[in-house]
Amino acid sequence: MFFRLPAKKQVVLCGLVFFVGLAISANAAVAAGPELTRGPYLQSATPESIVVVWRTNSPAAPSVKIGKSVAALNRQIVGGSIQLLVSADVQAPKYITRLYKEPKADAAKRAADDESPSTVPSTYQYEARIQGLEPATRYYYSVYAGKKLLAGADKHHYFVTSPSQGTDADLRIWVVGDSGTGEQDQKEVHLAMQEFTQESKRDLDLYLHVGDMAYVEGTDKQFQNNFFDIYQTTLRNKVCWPSMGNHEGKTSRGTSGTGPYYDAYVVPTAAEAGGLPSGTEAYYSFDIADVHFVCLDSHDLDRTPSGAMAQWLIADLEETQQEWLIAFWHHPPYTKGSHDSDAERQLIEMRTHFMPILESCGVDIVLSGHSHIYERSMLIDGAYATPTVAEGVVVDDGDGNPDHDGAYRKSQGLNPNEGTVAIVAGNGGAGLTRRGTMPIMREILVEHGSVILDIRGDTLTGTMVNKNNVERDVFSIVKRGKVEVTHLEKPWQPPNDPSLLTVFVLAWQDEALGQLPKNWSLAQGPDESVVVQQVSEEQKKLLAVKAGEKSVIATYDNFDDLMSEIRTEISLSTDAVAGVVFAHQNEQNYYAYRFNAKTATAELVRYHEGEAEVLDSREVEIDFSEQVKVEIETRKNIFKFQLNNQVEYDVKLDQPLPEGKFGILVGENSAASYEYLAIRRGLP
């Protein structure tokens, strides 16, 4: 838990604030006057209050001015309602809260070239809690250091207080996840949302981030570069209500409420915005109009049903009298994107321990990220089993689109087990992956984008807007009257077409012995030179290849595309030549990466119209009597090779890799076997 004590010893004198006992460290920034280094941004809105947060690089007497028009910022906030936090290097009295400094033990473990997660030196963070506001009212604001205007006093800096609790909702909510790369896709997703709201003439009211907002380690600097710098034009007007991702979890701790994540956010811990006090910023609830929001920590807190978070959730939900219930956290209960909810612990636990609580309390929408994909479920209830199946857990298998199959229907208010729509919005910026088909999903899109939720009275509409500002999925839930719920025995299923996947993991466990696996073809070589074979002692099967006088090539049929990654494990006979082929268009045109076990050589060869060109050949220090683990990654024209996690090297190509199939290759009079083959589709 992170206590923020008001800077008690500030003395208000003639409208100026002096920091008593706060030693001002002399540095260049002082001479130039304090500069704004973060924000201003908004936090913890209620109908009567809001928190304005900003940072400077030297101390200043902070103040905020607000008013109902830019020309009349006639209320000034100073003194004890502005909390000061300082970086570790700043000399300040003990009662001033410190921003994050990495503990010595952790710093010692960190590689010297790693970025420090600590707050940059000479940082002053101000958190101004402005009270006594009118509900659902727009206020303009400005932020000062002494007499120096840092930001605002213009039409771009405003906030709107929340509508009173219990009033009919008229809200627009932006939902983003896994965005914090600082790269182009993240910026385009943000821009597309801004265009969408402008074109539809309806601004956002709030912003929910479902985690992984500051890759790779959630350091203070990564927060600045990959979150605040990118979203500032939104953050200065809308409150971002956060949930912590595993990447923030590399430097921030839910148990102690410390780290750059907890420094950045001010969220309710004592029911300041409705709900029940959680006593921690790691999980919390709040009300806006007639919507109850719940944020959970799926990363580093106890996820058991008897744990503090689950017990708080039960108590919180029992209390709420709201019409709508939206829950959000990072690790998705249902996904087959870059993560698999049938196989990963946090995801399984959130599904089996938290979904029953939420659904028994009538949850309408469950939002998550982590998995870099957009997946949106049908109207489901009771999908707690592992693996997730659709049979008996879908209450409406339509698309929920009011212009197509029709909106999902639920009874008015919060009623147990009438159906939930689960959304994975991990498509906010990070590289996308689809590894399978989650059977309860209605829409699965491997596209960057974000979700807009509109709640108006008894209707909630969800829209996935991709990074090109195209509406790619629309569904509605209408809550009216009394609805009878039926669980469908055999609901609709999303197509499980392998060509839709971005990652293929090919194993042979279910294949017939002595045959070429299904969906494979021999491109070169005699029949039965490639067969599935049982390894005698263990239960596993291998793909065994034995070539005679001619070399053998077999390719996987269900992939004819741009690959970005191949992984495999190969066992070679002592003098064998064997490897993989990729970008295989036909027998005349393909690439091969192969080992010669006898000479301990690795070769990258391009075949063009039947002519071989050796692009790279080198001796590699690998024990070829053992299985060789191969990873090949392509980034534009750079090939990255990694063997047994030991040997690593890059090869630059003079032209981009073309599309094509991938497969295996075994040279003449050689034998090799393959444990598995995995390929990642290259995304545009």
Residues in the site for Fe ion, rule: CB under 5 A? 212, 245-246, 370
Q: Measured from the CB atom, is 77 or 424 closer to Fe ion? A: 424
Q: Which of 116, 115, 63, 54 is nearest to 85 (CA)?
A: 54
Nearest to 530 by CA among 642, 389, 341, 663: 663
| Three-state SS sequence of 271-340 | CECECCCCCCCCCEEEEECCEEEEECCCCCCCCCCCCHHHHHHHHHHHHCCCCEEEEECCCCCCCECCCE
Strands 365-368, 421-425: pairing kind: parallel
> Count of alpha carbons within 13 Å of 593, Cβ hemisphere only?
21
- Considering beta carbons, is residue 209 or 410 the nearer one to Fe ion? 209
Q: Which 8-state DSSP code applies to residue 52?
A: E
Q: Is 619 exposed, middle or buried (0-12, 13-18, 19+ CB in 10 A)?
A: exposed
> In this structure, are residues 328 and 243 in contact, taking their beta carbons and an 8 Å threshold?
yes
Indicate the Cα dihedral angle 291, 302, 346, 216, nearest 10°.
90
Minimal distance, residue 251 CB to Fe ion, in Å = 14
Q: CB 30: neighbour CB atoms within 10 A?
A: 15
Q: Min. distance of Cβ 227 from Fe ion in angstroms?
A: 14
Query: Based on CB atoms, which residue is closest to Fe ion, 425 or 664?
Result: 425
Considering the complex, state which of residue 155 and residue 345 has its C-beta at the smaller distance from Fe ion.
Answer: 345
**Concatenated DSSP letters of 331-377:** S-SS-BSSSBTTT-HHHHHIIIIIHHHHHHTT--EEEE-SSSSEEEE
* Residue pair 445/466 in contact by the 8 Å Cβ criterion: yes
Three-state SS for 482?
Answer: coil
At its nearest, how many Å lie between Fe ion and the CB of residue 177? 8
Judged by CB, which is closer to Fe ion: 38, or 299? 299
All residues at 6 or more sequence positions from 458 whose CB lies less than 8 Å from its CB, including other chains: 323, 412, 478, 479, 480
Give whichever of 212 and 511 is closer to Fe ion, judged by the CB atom.
212
**Least CB distance from residue 299 to Fe ion, whole Å?**
8
Q: How far is the CB of 223 from Fe ion (least distance, A)?
A: 15
> Minimal distance in Å, beta carbon 181 to Fe ion?
12
Minimal distance, residue 208 CB to Fe ion, in Å: 15
8 A C-beta contact, residue 29 and residue 148: no
- Nearest-CB residue for Fe ion: 370
Q: Given the complex with Fe ion, which of 301 and 554 has the nearer CB atom? A: 301
Three-state SS string over 401-463 comes to CCCCCCCEEECCCCCCCCCEEEEEECCCCCCCCCCCCCCCEEEEECCCEEEEEEEECCEEEEE
Q: Compare residues 83 and 186 and give the one whose CB is closer to Fe ion.
A: 186
Cβ(253)–Cβ(300) under 8 Å? yes
Give 116 or 246: the residue with its C-beta nearer to Fe ion: 246
Give me the phi and psi of 352, to 5 degrees please. -80, -25
The minimum distance between CB 250 and Fe ion, in angstroms, equals 11
Closer to Fe ion by CB, 246 or 589: give it: 246
Quote the tokens at residue 12.
Answer: 């208000």
Residue 375 C-beta: closest distance to Fe ion, Å: 14
Q: How far is the CB of 214 from Fe ion (least distance, A)?
A: 11
Residue 29 or 216 having the CB closest to Fe ion: 216
Whole-angstrom distance, CA of residue 228 vs CA of residue 36: 12
* Distance in Å, CB of 372 to Fe ion, minimum: 8
